Amino acid sequence: MTTHVGLTARALGADRVIFPDNASQSEETVEDITGRFGGQFAVERTAALDGTISEWEGVIVHLTMYGERIQDVEAEVRRAHRDEPVLVVVGGEKVPFEVYEAADWNVGVTNQPHSEVAGLAVFLDRLFEGRELEQEWPDADRRVLPQASGKRVVDADAFGDGDDPGGTDADGGANDVTE
């Protein structure tokens, strides 16, 4: 699950992910994908996630099924994101109450049990209003060519001017995800 949080954060517009200290395999996988498929995405690990949260200089969004409905707070979060970096905290089953208290918003993508990865994906898509789906991936070794059926991955060097199926980068600003 940790690896999938990192891959989803990367693919949908976050700048970096901060994993727990024991997530070395997840760190290696996300760094490998970033190296092969491009983009500017950082992976960090920390033994003090609570310190990361308490020392964060920006706004904090905690994704939880117990939070306010995303459709009720997304515009406010987006406005805050224009001026401040956003730390998105993706919790599991037993999130300490201190995380709820530290968050500027406790946000529920749905108030039903669901995957943390799905919640992160929906949140980032709402935050960036779909622009993250048009990102370009600089320094890629490989590119996926969209097609109706099958899989096609090619060397990035195979692209000439105007052949790249990518678009523009998503919003700027710090968009970090921590699990």
Q: What share of the chain is helix, strand, coil (3-state, %, to 5)?
A: 40, 20, 40
Its pTM stands at 0.84
| Residue 173 pLDDT | 45
What's the pLDDT score for residue 113? Answer: 85
In this prediction, residue 76 carries a pLDDT of 97
Q: Mean pLDDT, to the nearest integer, of 146-166?
A: 73
Q: In whole angstroms, give the CA distance from residue 94 to residue 34.
A: 30
The sign one gets for the Cα dihedral 70, 72, 73, 75 is: positive
| Domain 2-178: which CATH number of 3.30.70.260, 3.40.1280.10, 3.40.50.970, 2.30.29.30 | 3.40.1280.10
- For residue 159, what pLDDT is reported? 64
Residue ranges in the chain assigned as alpha helix (H): 2-11, 24-37, 49-54, 70-83, 97-102, 116-128
What are the pLDDT digits (tens) for 65-111? 889 999 999 999 999 999 999 999 997 778 889 999 999 999 999 88
**pLDDT per position as a tens digit, 12-71:** 999 999 999 999 999 999 999 999 999 999 999 999 888 899 999 999 999 998 899 999
Q: How many whole angstroms separate alpha carbon 178 and alpha carbon 164?
A: 31
pLDDT at 168: 36
**Domain map of the chain by residue range?**
2-178
